[in-house]
């Protein structure tokens, strides 16, 4: 049994990771800036703190006596959020900075940083259905403004803490993680959850159309949460230090293709109102998994259709339980 700290444990990935580590018999400390009542998953067996980890003293407090740290904490959301909150996203650099300092002070054994595919050079993402982005494609640097720059800078800080202080760090670039028990409304949700919500509400209320941000031709790859947790632990528990790995599905689809799949799952078809004035991000993005396959002989394997079936069902059930679909009727 080891003692783990999960920063951002009230979030989507952090909540699933807390559940897995607890199930495996570890002692788990959970921290998030959100009040406990807003955490996606919370477990009484864990020690749970509502703290702002941009503050160094809070980082010292939660990392004391800890063996391993997972830093999942940042201010983030879907494209609509990160394009309109660049300064807020960049302030997350204080979390990584002060956590690294505190972990070094408290003799933590190893540190994990959750980075993002938003670090990749935008000039390599101008077309739909592009080749997968290799880890080396983040340089020369031209990442997503705000959020992407914060992630890329924090990656380098982890690397230099390893080089200068011999402090082991692990870095993973997530590609669009989705699944049950996550955000599906409110402005921070990502495309799979947003579209599942829209189709569910349309079906429940017999609405004939939904709004789609962009022209629907933009492409991405989407990784199911179970693959995310498995890959995260696998990479962190290995002897790879200060290495960067893509962690994402290589199944690249357009937004229109994903809507087609959700329509099949829901048994309900809709017209699409394309909102060309809405944030839509880069034209195409996909994960190149050559490195993770070479090192670990593994890659995320859950097909998008399979993951969407579970995600749609969970979101549909949440909307029905609310008994007030107007709350979620943002189109």
SS3 223: strand
Q: What's the CA gap between 202 and 304, in Å, rounded? A: 21
Contacts 24+ apart (CB under 8 A), 34-40: 34/10, 36/10, 38/10, 39/9, 39/10, 39/15, 40/10, 40/11, 40/12, 40/15, 40/181, 40/182, 40/183
CA triple 280-32-58, angle to 5 deg? 125
147 as an active site residue: the answer is: yes
Spell out the SS3 assignment of 177-209: EECCCCCCCCCCCCHHHHHHHHHHHHHHHCCCE
Active-site choice (68, 70, 147, 178): 147
Q: What's the CA gap between 5 and 100, in Å, rounded? A: 13
DSSP 69: E
Residue 191: Cβ within 10 Å count: 22
Q: What's the CA gap between 236 and 68, in Å, rounded? A: 10
Q: What's the CA gap between 60 and 170, in Å, rounded? A: 20
Residues labelled catalytic: 147
């Amino acid at each position: 049994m080891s003692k783990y700290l999960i920063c951002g444990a009230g979030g989507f990935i952090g909540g699933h990771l807390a559940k897995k580590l607890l199930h495996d018999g570890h002692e788990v400390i959970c921290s998030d800036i959100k009040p406990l009542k807003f955490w996606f998953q919370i477990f009484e067996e864990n020690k749970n703190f509502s703290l702002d980890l941009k503050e160094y003293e809070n980082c010292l407090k939660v990392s004391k006596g800890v063996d391993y740290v997972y830093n999942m904490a940042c201010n983030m959301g879907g494209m609509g959020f990160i394009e309109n909150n660049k300064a807020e996203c960049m302030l997350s650099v204080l979390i990584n900075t002060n956590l690294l300092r505190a972990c070094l002070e408290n003799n933590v054994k190893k540190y994990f940083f959750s980075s993002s595919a938003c670090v990749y050079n935008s000039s390599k993402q101008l077309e739909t259905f592009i080749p997968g982005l290799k880890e080396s494609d983040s340089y020369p640097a031209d990442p997503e403004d705000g959020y992407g720059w914060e992630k890329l800078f924090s990656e380098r800080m982890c690397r230099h803490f390893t080089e200068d202080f011999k402090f082991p760090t692990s870095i993973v670039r997530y590609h669009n993680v989705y699944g049950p028990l996550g955000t599906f409304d409110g402005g921070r949700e990502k495309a799979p959850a947003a579209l599942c919500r829209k189709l569910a509400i349309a079906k429940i209320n017999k609405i004939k159309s939904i709004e789609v941000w962009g022209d629907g031709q933009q492409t991405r790859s989407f990784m199911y949460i179970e693959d995310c947790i498995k890959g995260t632990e696998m990479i962190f528990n290995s002897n790879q230090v200060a290495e960067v790995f893509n962690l994402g599905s290589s199944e690249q689809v357009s937004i229109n293709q994903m809507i087609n799949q959700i329509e099949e799952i829901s048994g309900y078809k809709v017209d699409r109102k394309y909102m060309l004035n809405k944030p839509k991000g880069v034209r195409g993005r996909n994960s190149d998994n050559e490195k993770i396959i070479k090192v670990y002989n593994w890659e995320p394997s859950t097909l998008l259709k399979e993951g969407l079936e579970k995600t749609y069902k969970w979101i549909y059930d949440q909307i029905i339980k609310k008994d007030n679909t107007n709350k979620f009727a943002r189109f």
